[in-house]
Amino acid sequence: MSATVRKLQPVSSLNASGTRPMVGIEKVTMAFGDFVAVENVNLAVGDGEFLAIVGPTGCGKSTILNAIAGLLKPAVGAVSIDGATVSGVQNDIGYLFQQDALLPWKTAFENVELGLMFRRVGAAERRDKAMAWLEKVGLKGFEGRYPHQLSGGQRKRVQMAQALITEPKVILMDEPFSALDIHTRHLMQNELLRLWQEDRRAVVMITHDLEEAIALGDRVVVLAAGPKSHIIDSFPVDLERPRNVAEIKLDPRFLTLYRDIWASLRGEVEKSYARR
């Protein structure tokens, strides 16, 4: 894995509709030595589409996300972002990790401006943008705090600002809210929807939480239990936006979707437990 190489070559993959996807995953197999985690995955995420991926633990969700980010290389197949093949770590993505990924020795402000520093943006512009983003995520006045002086939800807000400040083409999220209590999680989900709604970008979000997947996503994709995990189902979520995550769960269509997707996911979750 190289952190410096970033060669982009054009690829010609098109959607069924003939438009080019923002994220293209074509015949991708991911392996760790002899262990094949993911086999022959094909997936296209449109510009502005919010895609949620669900699947049993250990099936390869994070592995797929890391392939999009260019952190892992497919054994077979290719990933593209905006038509360019991914080879090496990507600049065009914002990555929201499950665990706290803030630098503990830097303040909220310094953490948020990091991505702009790496892109050699001048100090004045960095300051303006970082302060604006801290305000957008509800942390005005907290810019001088260190991560240990912030709550879990506040740290997540800093991470959100950190991931979005560079205006990435694609936002990757790996169970970003799973460590939060249920009330904070709802707040953060609504906050995320608000920010995304303002400036729609392609999102690929992984979650264990089927309610979260339906409440946030335009589409929910179900992965099979591993090894050799693959996509077994894809469900469009035809619920209006803007959405409120607490209210949407009361919509009868939400319940129907939940039932259908759970029927697909349940068997895989059971297989995954049986194999362990």
Ligand X SMILES: Nc1ncnc2c1ncn2[C@@H]1O[C@H](COP(=O)(O)OP(=O)(O)OP(=O)(O)O)[C@@H](O)[C@H]1O
Q: What residue 63 binds from ligand X, Mg ion, none (CB within 5 to 8 A, per partner kind)?
A: ligand X
Task: State yes or no: residue 265 binds ligand X (CB under 6 A).
Answer: no
Task: State yes or no: residue 59 binds ligand X (CB under 6 A).
Answer: yes
Number of residues that bind ligand X (CB under 6 A): 12
How far is Cα 273 from Cα 205, in angstroms, rounded to an integer? 23
| Residue among 117, 150, 5, 151 at smallest CA distance from 70 | 5
Q: Which of 226, 235, 243, 261 binds ligand X (CB under 6 A)?
A: 226
| Residue among 74, 44, 56 at smallest CA distance from 222 | 56
How far is Cα 143 from Cα 126, in angstroms, rounded to an integer? 13
Q: Which is nearer to Mg ion, 1 or 5 (CB)?
A: 1
Q: If DSSP codes are grouped into helix, strand and coil, which group holds residue 52?
A: strand
Span 46-65, contacts to Mg ion by CB under 5 A: 62
How far is Cα 199 from Cα 110, in angstroms, rounded to an integer? 24
Q: Which is nearer to ligand X, 54 or 130 (CB)?
A: 54
Q: What residue 35 binds from ligand X, Mg ion, none (CB within 5 to 8 A, per partner kind)?
A: ligand X
Span 239-268, contacts to Mg ion by CB under 5 A: none
Q: Which is nearer to ligand X, 53 or 237 (CB)?
A: 53
Q: Which is nearer to ligand X, 111 or 207 (CB)?
A: 207
CB of 117 to ligand X, least distance (A): 29
| Residue among 208, 181, 176, 196 at smallest CA distance from 241 | 196
Give buried/exposed letters for 248-266 (b at 16+ CB in 10 A, else e): beeeeebeebbeebeebbe
Residues that bind Mg ion (CB under 5 A): 62
Q: Name the residues that contact ligand X, by CB under 6 A.
A: 32, 35, 37, 55, 57-63, 226
